[in-house]
Amino acid sequence: MSALMVVILVVFAAAALLTVIRIVIGPSILDRAIASDVLLTLVMCVLGAEMVINQHTRTLPVLLIIAAVGVFGSIAVARFVARRDNVP
């Protein structure tokens, strides 16, 4: 089973790295908002995977709180973004 855990962690790390690359190079602020939303979802998935692997329940409330308040980040960015921020 240990090889499967290593594969899971490598896949999560690769996904996080690609998402951070999109946050860095994203041409508009909306791309960065989407990518940071995906990164937050990735954090939730990693917390859940760690609970599965280590067989504990300590991070369940963190999962609930992130699911509840994580949406406000991208909503705030999308609400207050300036019009045509990417026109040279």
Partner 1 sequence: MDVDALLDATALVLVLIGALLCLIAAIGLLRLRDVPTRLHAATKPQVLGLMLICTAIALSLRSWEVVAFLVPVVLIQLATAPLSAHMVGRQAYRNGTIDERALVADELRESRETPPAAGG
Residues that bind partner 1 (CB under 8 A): 1, 4-5, 7-8, 11-12, 14-19, 21-22, 27-28, 30-31, 33-35, 37-38, 41-42, 44-45, 48-49, 51-53, 55, 57, 60-61, 63-64, 67-68, 70-71, 74-75, 77-79, 81, 83-87
**Inter-residue contact 74 to 37 (CB < 8 Å):** yes
**Inter-residue contact 16 to 42 (CB < 8 Å):** yes
Closest CB 10 distance from partner 1, rounded Å: 9
What is each CA distance from 63 to 29, 75, 81, in whole angstroms? 26, 19, 28
